[in-house]
Structure 1
Amino acid sequence: MALRDLIHDRKVALCIIFSLIAVIAPLLLLFGLKNGIVSQLRHQLLDDPRTREVRMTGNGNYDFAWLDKLARRSEVGFSIPLTRSLNTQADLVRDGQHFVPGAEVIPTAKGDPLLQDVRAPVKDSDTVLSASAARRLGVQTGDILRLMVSRKSEGKNQRATFALTVTGVLDDAKFSRQGAFITLPLLVALEDYRDGFQVPLLGVSDGKPFRERTRYSRARIYASSIDDVSLLARWLETQNIEAITQSAQIESVRAIDRVLGIIFGVIAWISASGCIASLVGAFIANIDRKRKDMAVLRLLGFRRRSVTLFIIIQALCLTGVSYGLGVIIYLLGSALFNHVLGSSLPDQAFVCHLDPLHFIAALLCVLAVALGVAAIGALRALKIEPAESLREI
């Protein structure tokens, strides 16, 4: 009966549906833009491990206990000791025409955020090259090159050579400089060699007796998430260690999120208030228009519960149809936004996006508003007495 009544009064029903669509569709598009832009920015930040890097400035003197304490902190996603900054360079040579003088040598291990797409070096003779270094050397995965390091000992210039096998090439987006990722023992061997010690790993028996490494100058650190970067930097400050982070870039994304959240909140509340007021007025006007029909139904034996269900069913039907049409309009609008505004963005980027959970939450909110409005209309309908129908005869 409720559905037949809506079909009979289809003009009024369509007016209510259009008024709901006019609120639902813009709100979905607005929230989709907010969610899409902020999510895309956060996605780019998360995809770029450099955003989570916390660089210790200067050279210190840290023992294993302190480095282990650092690695165990919940804010730290990856950390590995570093030698002095002057000892993080070496020459990479393939032949007389292909070489990279003074390339960066970076210690790495399993779990390195920069090497998520390539296999990290396992043996000391393994290395992962940056794309720029690989192009300069003309090598690819599986090729062999030489790592050369020089020193001056007892007035003599000496040079050590170590063969490396390329196990992977890192994309420019992850590391744009010319460098090689190597194991920590090999990096320590390079520093010991420059300091004039004997280095069994490099096959060097000249110099001061071999020393066991107990302290390091710095650490290469990455936070667990972008939200942990500032926490980790503050903890390092309590240890009297200055650190360089991408906090400004991270904070800019948070600021955009806050601003868009405020804008969306204000517009949403204004739109929702207007929608509720419009629905209340439409339902009350519709009930007042059907007072005689309601009175006849009561006279025919309809109980109060039946009248209430009659109104609630109509409210849910009108809201469900409005929401469905609003979602269709949103999908068309979001496709247009993504095509026009997203044409200048990288592949798989979006500017307007909602997850399935967002659609479910929006539907529940719309239905809750409809039930609230229907309850107000039902209370007014329950005040209609059956005798009113007799007075009209």
Structure 2
Amino acid sequence: MLRLALADLWHERVLFLCSALGCAAVLAPLIVLFGLRQGVVAGLRAELLEDPRAREVVSIVNRTLEPAVFERLGADPRIAFIVPRTRALSATIVLENPDRQGGGSRVELLPTGEGDPLLPGLGAMEADALVLSAAAQQRLGLQVGGRVLASVARSRDGQREILTLPMRVAAAAPLSAATREAAFATLPVLLLVEDFLDGRAAPDARPGDAMAARARPFAGFRLHAARLEDVPALDAELRLAGIEVASRAEAVAGLLRLDRNLALLFLAIAGAGGAGYLVSLGVGLWAQVERKRRDLALLSLLGMKRRALLALPIIQAAAVALAGAAMAFLVAAAVAHVLNGAFAGTVTGDRPVCLLTARMGLAAAGVTLAGAVLAAVLAGLRAASVPPAQGLAEG
């Protein structure tokens, strides 16, 4: 039956070619549309994912947050990293290159810890370690591994007191982590600076234990969501709890809306175009069966089984679908090449604006094949129902 079905297609190859072209004409725009959705959304998502601050949520108003709050947030599976922070007014420090006396620079002091997404690859830090931003490193003329003096001054009982901490540059922060002059330090260092300014620590004090540091209240926090999709929900929940935060929730929510809207657009167009094509294919196969009723009756009279006659239009529909899908993917690939060249560097940076993959082509062929076979079933049932006597009657 397979050989007979393909031989019949070859005999009517012009009709077969027209049917395959009709399939390709419907399928090619759908593949291009799906490729545009994948390219644009994937490019925008990649840009956000490459920016470590895209998943960051930072509290912006000083509050008194008890350790239980951090335990609850740390246990949330949507949060991949969280670190407390001290008050903004006490989160600055003066750094000085020992080889350049008198050339100190005031920098922002930021909390960090193991697994910080802003500092990828950074392990556990010692208490005397600092990670400097590129701007601070350049300003002070320091290299990774070099020594640096950190100091903070206060006025107490009319006398000026200075806390000086000998530190070392453990690593350089990527530009995406901080564009301004900043230094990342462990939590005990920030607490020591805050306690010194509040008069609770002596000028000769040194950073305490990291575990003990987390057992006290903090003024705020910096956290990173586990997934990009979690950012809007975390932002909304924290605001609802009365904690003012800053995040890129609006940008992430906009991207997710774009993804959903493009998906709905694709489904609407694919549904309308696909349904129209399946109807036309089914009508064409039905017309073929009606045109070949005498031939099918003779085949039945010669002993061909009912299921073989049922398979005849199904095999032909599958051949049309596969040929149409192949042509459609070739046309879509050519269109994608033109679009990627025309929009290079304008929408998604250096990424393709229309992204087509072999997996996408196989999926399109599979869906088209399934639809064509479904449309051919009715025609197959009609072919199998032709009575053998009709071949003799028309002969």
Structure 1 length as normaliser, TM-score? 0.90
Aligned position for 2:117: 113
Instruction: State how far apart, in whole Å, the 1-side matches of 2:30 and 2:76 are.
Output: 42
Q: State how far apart, in whole Å, the 2-side matches of 1:279 and 1:345 are.
A: 38
Q: 1:323, CA displacement in angstroms?
A: 1.4
Residue 97 of structure 1, CA deviation: 8.3
| Contact 2:118 2:176 survives alignment (8 Å) | no
- Conservation of the 8 A alpha-carbon contact between 1:119 and 1:167: no
- Provide closer, same or farther for how the CA distance between residues 305 and 200 of structure 1 changes in structure 2, counting only shifts above 3 A: farther
**1:199: Cα distance to partner?**
4.7
Cα distance change, pair 98–31 in 1 and its aligned pair in 2 (3 A): farther
Q: 1:275 to 1:221 in 2, by over 3 A?
A: same
Matching of residue 76 in structure 1 with residue 79 in structure 2: yes
Match of 2:145 in 1: 142
Name the SS for the 1:113 alignment partner. coil
The alpha carbon displacement at 1:9 in A equals 1.0
Aligned position for 2:166: 163
- CA deviation vs aligned residue, 1:341-372 (integer Å, no higher than 9, x gap): 13336665222224555444433321211111
Match for residue 392 of structure 1 among 387, 391, 394: 394
**Displacement, 1:16?**
0.6
Q: CA RMSD in A?
A: 2.5
Residue 105 of structure 1: how far off its partner (Å): 0.9
Structure 2 distance, partners of 1:370, 1:180, is: 63
Residue 320 of structure 1 pairs with residue 322 of structure 2: yes
Aligned-pair distance for 1:220? 1.6
User: Aligned letter for 1:264?
Assistant: F
Q: What are the Cα deviations for residues 210-233 of structure 1, in whole angstroms up to 9, with x where unaligned?
A: x99722211222222232223323
Residue 92 in 1 paired to residue 95 in 2? Answer: yes
**Map of 1:212-223 to 2, 5 A cutoff?**
214-223=216-225
Which residue of the partner structure matches residue 286 of structure 2? 284
Shift of 1:330: 2.4
The percent identity for this pair of structures is 32
Structure 2 distance, partners of 1:300, 1:131, is 86
Supply the AA of the counterpart residue of 1:109.
Answer: G
Change (3 A) 1:304 1:100: farther
The 1:201–1:370 alpha-carbon spacing in structure 2 relative to 1, beyond 3 Å, is farther
User: How far does residue 4 in structure 1 lie from its aligned partner after superposition?
Assistant: 1.4
Question: Relative to structure 1, is the Cα distance of residues 302 and 201 closer, same or farther in structure 2, using a 3 angstrom cutoff?
Answer: farther
Bigger Cα displacement from structure 2, 2-11 vs 248-257 = 248-257
Q: Residue 112 of structure 2 aligns to which amino acid in structure 1? A: T
One-letter code aligned to 1:81: P
Following the alignment from structure 1 to structure 2, what is the Cα–Cα distance between the partners of residues 11 and 110? 68
Change (3 A) 1:203 1:182: closer
Residues 75 and 231 of structure 1 are in contact (CA less than 8 Å); yes or no, is this contact kept in structure 2?
no
* TM-aligned CA deviation for residue 37 of structure 1: 1.1
Amino acid at match of 1:114: L
- What residue is the counterpart of 1:16 in the other structure? 19
Q: 1:311 aligns with which of 310, 313, 317?
A: 313
Could you give the per-residue CA deviations for residues 184-223 of structure 1, whole angstroms, max 9, x where no partner exists? Answer: 111111112222233587559xxxxxx9972221122222
Instruction: Give the TM-score normalised by the residue count of structure 2.
Output: 0.89
Question: Any conservation in 1 of the 2:281–2:375 contact (CA below 8 Å)?
Answer: yes
Corresponding residue number in structure 2 for 1:208: none
> Structure 1, unaligned stretches of length 5 or more?
205-210
